[in-house]
Amino acid sequence: SKLVRDINTPYHHISVIAESVLGTRELKFDRFTESAIELSEPHRSMSQYTTYFHLAFLPQPKIRRALFIGAGGGVGPRAFHQHDPTMEIDVVDIDQAVLDVASDDFYLPESENIRMIAADGRTFVRNSPDGHYDAIFLDAFTIGGRIPFHLVTREFFQLCRQKLAPGGVFVMNINSAVRGKNAEIFESMYTTLGEAFPQVHAFAIG
């Protein structure tokens, strides 16, 4: 293992670790792995959950504008850009250092169609035009693998719905069991999402 980057910010302890034997690179916030990719092109994601972002194309095959709240390693935005380089993609993260790491260490390309914005996700969404996005992805986590509280309220979800164009889709990554005693977070989020959106579907990673 080789420590490529080690940064303390007001929000995270960020470390980027290269595994030369496996040919992978890993992004960690504190001790939690956020993203992992193959170092060889096309730098495929090793984080299974990121492939689930593509479920957005099922209800909305024509995504022209997308918003990612929480940059991580930029794996989702990079995959969507590769799928359609003309897609307009906004990547918002409260931590500028995370945006820098996505570009410098995880191959998120420079493009006139990718905007990198250091801002609080809720503030950014509030100031965005209504009906602007075909897809919004919420993948923001703070210390301990928790989603920031102000991004999981009914009011925020309703705000996101206002910013979606007709037929738009909201996709959210939840770090929780879906059944049993450890499913409290999922059950709460499912209920809250149902208060803001007419249809809610859950996809578990086995």
Active site residues: 139
Please calculate the CA angle 188-189-191 and round it to the nearest 5 degrees. Answer: 65
User: 148-159: buried (b, 16+ CB within 10 Å) or exposed (e) per residue?
Assistant: beebbeeebbeb
Does 61 sit behind a cis peptide bond, omega within 30 degrees of 0 on the bond before it? no
Here the tokens at position 138 are 């919420």
For 28, other C-beta atoms within 10 Å of its C-beta total 17
Helix (H, G, I), strand (E, B) or coil at 4: strand
Number of H helices, E strands in the chain: 5, 9
Here the tokens at position 89 are 């993609």
The rounded Cα 86 to chain-centroid distance in angstroms is: 20
184 CB-near residues (< 8 Å, 6+ apart): 176
